[in-house]
A = this chain, B = another copy of it.
Amino acid sequence: MKKTAMAKVINRFEIENILKETTPDTLIEYIEEAFTSYSSGLAVVPPVGTLSFNSPPGDMHIKYGYIQGDSYYVVKIASGFYENPLLGLSSSNGLNLVFNQKTGVLETILLDEGLLTDIRTAVAGAIVSKYLAPKKVEAIGIMGSGIQARWQLEYLKSVVDCKKVFVWGRSDEKLQAYKKDMTNKGFDIVTTRDSRLIGRKCNLIISSTPSTSPILFEEDLQKGVHITAVGADTIGKQELDLTILEKANLIVLDSKKQCQVHGEIHKAFQKNLLEKQRLVELGEIISSGGYSRRDEDITIADLTGIATQDIQISKFILERTSKRE
């Protein structure tokens, strides 16, 4: 037997450097393809694998699959242990494994420690806003003050001009840290612990928390608002009150299949509240060139994160790495 070459290991530091040299537009291009290939049926994506832990609380998920005709298949493992910061560790962790689709040989290990999951999620948020944000964004609302809440705002910059941001969180300390970091990035940040203020002030809202009960309510929303929910990636999480989903003119999902099990909308699905709703996959919106929103439309996007995003961002890193060699 021929000895297979040892898999290449790319660590977080190298990945960070590649990302620093990359424009958001390039990543948007790769991740848009993740959604269009998924929605066109070109991708093979089995159900997400999960593990839950109780003490300390944590969860792990495995997203994997391949795009037919591509060179690779990818297995992505990501975890969230929310008490890690008490130990001085990041709550999110993970890696992406890239295999040869024709032989099963492991080609590259991306030891990104969760960074690529964070980035591909933020880029997906930017893609949603690119197609669905109101024509004139008065103020951006951010629910949550964690890492993903930072990345979302950072990537939003490339598709939305507005710099006025209201950010909601439960901890004053974290809100102040968020304000400091994002002011440095050129945003005008107002912090609040009153979640209802976000609905009243903002017409583009991105919700990125691990909340298990609603934090946004329909009665507080403006006409013409768009909301992207990226936090409800695991069974049991919920950020939007069900009435918001009932009132929405359009609900955009990364994956109809996955959102029925994991997403923000899965409870509404179970209660048969969405029978008359217009549910469209993000890949379909991209392929058809967007959505012509009316001024009063309320639109929602529910992103659970799909394996093709992991495949596409891994491919991007691989291609950049081989160029640098």
Contact = CB atoms under 8 A, between A and B. Distances in A.
Interface of A: 1-2, 4, 6-7, 9, 11, 44, 46, 49-53, 56, 58, 60, 62, 64-66, 73, 75, 77, 79-81, 84-85, 87-90, 93-95, 97, 99, 101-106, 109, 111, 113
Contact of A109 (B53, B75, B102, B109): B109
Given A44-B51, A84-B104, A87-B103, 4 more contacts: A4-B90, A6-B111, A53-B101, A89-B105
**How would you classify the secondary structure of chain A's contact residues: helix, strand, loop or mixed?**
strand
12 contacts: A2-B89, A46-B51, A53-B73, A60-B73, A62-B64, A62-B75, A81-B103, A84-B103, A93-B99, A93-B104, A93-B106, A109-B109
Given A6-B11, A62-B62, A111 B104 contact: no
Contacts of A80: 104
Given A7-B111, A65-B51, A60 B102 contact: no
Nearest to A58: B104
A93 B101 CA distance: 12
A90 B4 CA distance: 9
Nearest to A87: B103
Nearest to A44: B51
A66 B89 contact: no
B49 A49 contact: yes
B105 A1 contact: no
A235 B203 CA distance: 50
Contacts of A95: 97, 106
Contacts of A88: 1-2
Nearest to A147: B1
Nearest to A97: B77
A75 B77 contact: yes
A93 B99 CA distance: 10
A62 B85 CA distance: 29
Contacts of A99: 60, 77, 79, 93
A218 to B, nearest CB: 35
A313 to B, nearest CB: 18
A102 B1 contact: no
A62 B99 CA distance: 13
A88 B113 CA distance: 34
A324 to B, nearest CB: 20
B66 A51 contact: yes
A2 to B, nearest CB: 4
